[in-house]
Amino acid sequence: MRPRGRCLLTTLVMLLAAIFWLPGNAGRVHAEEETPAQRFAALREKLQTAQDGEEILLEDGDYLFTETLVLEGKSVVLKAAGSAVFKRGEGFSDTFLTVAEGAGLTLESGIEIDGEQKESRSNANLLSVKGTLTINGGRYHDAKGRGGSYRAPIIASGKNARITLNQGTIENHDYSTASTAYSSGAFRLENGAEMVMNGGIIRKNQASVYYPYPSLLWSDSPGAGAVFVAPGSKMTMNGGEISENQGWAGAVLVGSASPYDYERSAVSEDRLKPQELATAVFSGGILKGNRGVGGGGISANGNVEVSLPEGSTVVIRENRAYQGGGVFVSDWAVDGIGLEKEIAKLPIDTWEKHYAGKFHMAGGQITENRSDQVGGGVLISSNGGLLTGGEISNNISGDYGGGVGVTTIPYTLKIENAYVSGNQATGSKGIMTETGIYLPAKSGGGAWFCPTGEAKFYAENGAAIVDNHAGEAGDELWSSDKLSGNYSVTLTDRLIGGTKIRHYEDKKGARYQEPGVEIQVKDASREIAVKSIADPEGVAIAKALSKLMITGNTSSKGGGIGSNGNVVFGKVPKEENPLKEIEIIKIWEKGLQPKEIKVELRAKEGETDWLIETCTLNTENGFRYKVKDLPATVHGKPIEELLYVKELQSEEYQVTVGKIERQEGAPTLSFRLNRPQFSDYENLMAVYQENAEVFDQEAWELKSFEVAIRLEIEGQKEPVIQKMTYNKESYSWEGNVAFKGIPITGKDVKVEYEEAPKGGFVDPGLLEYRLTLKKNQQGEWVLKIPRLRPSNVQNPTGEETVLRVEEFAVKAPEQESFSIQITNKERIPVTPLEPAKRKLQVTKEWKGIQPEKAPEIKVYLVKNGKKTDRFLTLNRENEWKGTFEDLPVTDTVEAEENVYTVVEEGEKDGRVILQGDTYKVTYDKSSILNEKIPPEVPKKPEQPGKIKKNEKKAPKTGDTRALPLLLLTMVSAAGILTSRKRSGRDSETL
């Protein structure tokens, strides 16, 4: 007979199983001793018969798929208590599960899809999604692609396809065979599909073919190690991890990296191949340890918009690539670098209308990545690069651009609010360019610029490049000799907060040492090497204001930033945000002898105070000094609202500082002057033959010679002189003379051509032409230019001229002007007033003791709540009275009145002990009362064992409240003993 206890246990187990394993609204694929094939058949049947929203609980074990299961017209949830493993049966090589458009599948923990590294010809090896797929857990691994393109373990296709990854692991997929171009090691999103990654892990997957170069990673098969966001599709990453994947793009590829998707040879816009916009937003998560060719972490190609938004916490770390260790961005208008690169024939502004190539970094962290060539952190090869925030740190590149690189012209990268510091140019890769210019290694610790491209630095939202290191030249910046063209470098003299920054020569063999050779870098087209120094207060402010940190990066050239193209730092001053200038004017009151003084222009916001510039005012500058090129705003506030002036010798004078006043700035005139040919005045026989500087008598021909253009301006002593050159080899004039920024009053300038007899306005021999800019009798500005008629015009109309005016413009002031006036007066000596004095009389009274028997005491003076060292001794000889003399009513004439009180020596908490007796101490202004406190009489101890009134005595056995529990325990024990005796056993296992 079965023991009763065992029967009860069996019943309980069955009841629990019914409660926990058979929920009323869930189906279960289950049968005892099922084979993997039978489990698959049961799953297939359940998916076919499941209701919309049903949860299907899978039995643990393998499921051998022999066909693709298609989910249509409903949403279901698959989960397993332990581990339900999907595998392929014999001869089956297609997709495991397909989610049709309009259907939804959720995969929970316990689900596992194992590709077993068996080659599959299906495009979607594991899952094909045209509806919605949510992955909340499970493991999806070891798929292997076989032939074909556009493949991946999991593919989402169509505008209604959406994948959400919350938890789970996607790993160990291999799509590295020779024909897996444009495939992905984990997910492929195409035809408008979308993926949101909130969590989970995508790791150790591979797409693209790799060649066995020992020193670098290389492939011409543009696949994505983890996620391929094809044109028209979108990815959002909020969390999770993408790590240790390999592909042409190591982790995520956005857009198309196929050279066949671009038509650089197109000469008409309609020949460009259409490409839908692909987008990706990285707001959180980590991309770590991935390896690629074009972008170790993120690769953005063609018509793309990729962003790391403000507030993003994404970390792109420890990735490696041939180019763009962390991020690579290209619009594919240019393929390659140097003279052999292939460039689109259409203008770049036409190209980028079709292929945006946009990358905006406003947050996130790109750190500890490596590029074998260029751009350790970020490499930009488009006009869509904008860096305004986040951190680019501790990255390394083999050639140039340890933190950030720009590939080539015609591309321009924009950088704002940047702090570039602690970067190093210490590598060994110096090169000779195809044009014969040597680019030395260890140059440009902060920034480096090659022979092509421009670099423009602006104060407004600009960059602070300080405290970097270069092994041989240019701690902050190095720029090579420029090729012919409009290529140059211009540095601002201001940090973001407005502080003056000074630039010094830091050349190889002549490194910067204090005091250094200060230089102005304006449109520099020759080699420059720069060390920059600014006041530490201003540097600290610039760092605090900066949102983009480019720090700790390393390269051979350009540790922080390296560029073969163009870089613009900050905002270009325009009418809506012009630079600002403030003129400091010193006024000496009559009777004072003016002398040289120094003043500081400073700024203050809240408790933060910093130096803008130290200015010297003296007789040479008329005691006026203009602080120019200030940023328009700081922290979003107009800079003039933060400025103030501090005179350093102010103790000598009575100084009055006026308010900052806005000044009306003067408009400026700019124009270019061009001369393509000779005029009829320039008769070789009559003029040039007699000028040996111009005419070669032996060869009987013109030499190459210069002609000066002299502009005389009313009110200006020295003329502005520019030159043109006649080139005898090309029989042409070279040089467009530019006159820029000429201050005028008013808004209009007339142009008049001046007729004159031969030689009337040239001197000598037509080697100098005179232009004038002055007001006429009506007060109008007039620019007069000599009318030199072309020699090849037979019947002139009167409008022809050799000297042609081009790009004529009157512009508003480039800088918004302010002024502040400081007036110095004689400081009149002031005889200090003596503060009034007072007395404080102290009296002592006793209570509970005869005064003649009371002990002597000390009373200390208290001033404004603080005990002083002054005291009085009170006793019966002075009748317990005393006076504090010569107490200042105030410490200074302007100060508040002092408050005097007293305290008795030894008093604490209103009591004092004197000769063994305790006294209560009471103060009334300067009177003190000591009241003796009688000693306490000890109480008589109680008799042992005596019970107090109304007190009950508890029994000695303890707390009676435990008695019922004790009785119950005894009864239960008795029952157990009785049961054991009946069964004839001492114990039983349940």
Per-residue pLDDT, 920: 92
Per-residue pLDDT, 143: 96
Q: What would the mean pLDDT of 415-422 be, rounded to a whole number? A: 97
For residues 171 and 205, is the Cβ–Cβ distance under 8 A?
A: yes
| Residue 989 CA: distances (Å) to CA of 16, 493, 893, 969, 978 | 20, 89, 97, 21, 17
Asked whether residue 124 falls in the same domain as residue 201, the answer is yes
| Residue 250 CA: distances (Å) to CA of 390, 404, 699 | 22, 18, 68
Q: HEC states along 852-913?
A: HHCCCEEEEEEECCEEEEEEEEECCCCCCEEEEEEEECCCCCCCCCCCEEEEECCCECCEEE
Per the document, the length of the chain is: 990
User: Could you tell me if residue 824 is inside a domain?
Assistant: no
Asked whether residue 673 falls in the same domain as residue 659, the answer is no
975 vs 165, which has greater pLDDT?
Answer: 165
Q: Give the angle subtended at the CA of 888 by the CAs of 884 and 891, to the nearest 5°.
A: 145
Per DSSP, which regions of 477-547 are E strands? 477-479, 489-490, 501-505, 518-519, 528-534
User: Which residue type is seen at 54?
Assistant: E
Give the pLDDT band of residue 426 (cuts 50, 70, 90).
very high
Q: Give the angle subtended at the CA of 664 by the CAs of 661 and 666, to the nearest 5°.
A: 140
User: Could you tell me if residue 221 is inside a domain?
Assistant: yes
Per-residue pLDDT, 61: 95
Per-residue pLDDT, 213: 58
User: Could you tell me if residue 769 is inside a domain?
Assistant: yes
Domain boundary residue, one of 887, 902, 932: 932
Per-residue pLDDT, 651: 79
Per-residue pLDDT, 797: 59
Closest CA to 34 of 69, 62, 66: 62
Per-residue pLDDT, 760: 37
Give the pLDDT band of residue 705 (cuts 50, 70, 90).
confident
Asked whether residue 887 falls in the same domain as residue 927, the answer is yes
| CATH at residue 883 | 2.60.40.1140
- HSE-up of 807 (CA within 13 Å, CB side)? 11
User: Could you tell me if residue 858 is inside a domain?
Assistant: yes
Asked whether residue 626 falls in the same domain as residue 742, the answer is no
Asked whether residue 731 falls in the same domain as residue 854, the answer is no
What is the CB neighbour count within 10 angstroms for residue 488?
A: 19
DSSP-derived pairing of the beta strands 477-479 and 528-534: antiparallel
Give CA–CA dist 789/799, Å, rounded. Answer: 9
Number of domains in the chain: 4
pTM exceeds 0.75: no
For residues 477 and 491, is the Cβ–Cβ distance under 8 A?
A: yes
Closest CA to 240 of 204, 212, 202: 202
Asked whether residue 680 falls in the same domain as residue 651, the answer is no
3-state secondary structure (DSSP) of residue 770? strand
User: Could you tell me if residue 700 is inside a domain?
Assistant: yes
Asked whether residue 777 falls in the same domain as residue 901, the answer is no
DSSP letter for each residue of 23-90: -TTEEEE--TT--HHHHHHHHHHHHHHPPTTEEEEEPSEEEEESS-EEE-SSEEEEEESS-EEEEE-T
Q: HEC states along 921-974?
A: EEEECCEEEEEEECCCCCCCCCCCCCCCCCCCCCCCCCCHHHHHHHHHHHHHHH
DSSP 215: T
Per-residue pLDDT, 832: 58
**Which two structure tokens, joined as six digits, stand for 618?**
């003296």
Per-residue pLDDT, 957: 42
602 vs 965, which has greater pLDDT?
Answer: 602
3-state secondary structure (DSSP) of residue 654? strand
- HSE-up of 828 (CA within 13 Å, CB side)? 2
Average pLDDT, rounded, for the chain? 85
pLDDT in tens, 528-550: 999 999 999 999 999 999 999 99
Per-residue pLDDT, 635: 82
How far does the chain reach from its first CA to its final CA, in angstroms?
16
Asked whether residue 170 falls in the same domain as residue 71, the answer is yes
Asked whether residue 761 falls in the same domain as residue 855, the answer is no
Per DSSP, which regions of 158-271 are E strands? 162-171, 174-175, 187-190, 194-197, 201-203, 206-207, 227-229, 234-237, 241-243, 252-255
| CB contact set of 721 (below 8 Å; sequence gap of 6+) | 708, 709, 710, 711
Per-residue pLDDT, 51: 96
**Which two structure tokens, joined as six digits, stand for 913?**
């002990």
Asked whether residue 173 falls in the same domain as residue 103, the answer is yes
For residues 369 and 376, is the Cβ–Cβ distance under 8 A?
A: yes
Asked whether residue 616 falls in the same domain as residue 712, the answer is no
Domain boundary residue, one of 612, 632, 663: 663
pLDDT in tens, 1-19: 444 444 444 444 344 444 4
pLDDT in tens, 773-823: 998 888 889 998 877 666 555 565 555 566 778 888 887 777 788 999 999
DSSP 12: H
DSSP 122: S
User: Could you tell me if residue 655 is inside a domain?
Assistant: yes
Give the pLDDT band of residue 677 (cuts 50, 70, 90).
low
| CB contact set of 738 (below 8 Å; sequence gap of 6+) | 670, 671, 672, 673, 722
Give CA–CA dist 949/728, Å, rounded. Answer: 134
Asked whether residue 707 falls in the same domain as residue 767, the answer is yes
Please, what's the b/e burial string for 289-327 (b: 16 or more CB within 10 A of its CB; e: otherwise)? bbbbbbbbbbbbbbbbbbbbbeebbbbbbbbbbbbbbbb
Q: What would the mean pLDDT of 21-46 be, rounded to a whole number? A: 71
Per-residue pLDDT, 788: 66
Per-residue pLDDT, 942: 55
pLDDT in tens, 390-405: 999 999 999 999 999 9
Query: Across the chain, which distance is largest between two alpha carbons, in Å?
Result: 148
Give CA–CA dist 420/736, Å, rounded. Answer: 37
Per-residue pLDDT, 754: 77
Given a cut of 50, is residue 954 above it in pLDDT? no
DSSP letter for each residue of 585-602: EEEEPTT-----EEEEEE
698 vs 864, which has greater pLDDT?
Answer: 864
DSSP-derived pairing of the beta strands 365-367 and 390-393: parallel
Given a cut of 50, is residue 338 above it in pLDDT? yes
Burial of residue 825, with CB atoms counted within 10 A of its CB: 0-12 exposed, 13-18 middle, 19 or more buried:
middle
pLDDT in tens, 572-596: 877 667 888 999 999 998 888 899 9
Given a cut of 60, is residue 474 above it in pLDDT? yes
DSSP-derived pairing of the beta strands 378-381 and 518-519: unpaired
pLDDT in tens, 488-521: 899 999 999 999 999 999 999 999 999 999 999 9
User: Could you tell me if residue 731 is inside a domain?
Assistant: yes
**Which two structure tokens, joined as six digits, stand for 117?**
């590294």
User: Which range, 378-387, 712-721, 730-739, 946-955, is most confident?
Assistant: 378-387
3-state secondary structure (DSSP) of residue 125? strand
| CB contact set of 936 (below 8 Å; sequence gap of 6+) | none
For residues 599 and 583, is the Cβ–Cβ distance under 8 A?
A: no
Domain boundary residue, one of 892, 915, 932: 932
Q: What would the mean pLDDT of 941-964 be, rounded to a whole number? A: 46
Give CA–CA dist 751/749, Å, rounded. Answer: 7
pLDDT in tens, 114-133: 999 998 889 999 999 999 99
Closest CA to 571 of 435, 712, 463, 498: 463
User: Could you tell me if residue 822 is inside a domain?
Assistant: no
- Residue range(s) defining the domain that contains residue 912: 837-932
Peptide bond into 212 cis (omega under 30): no
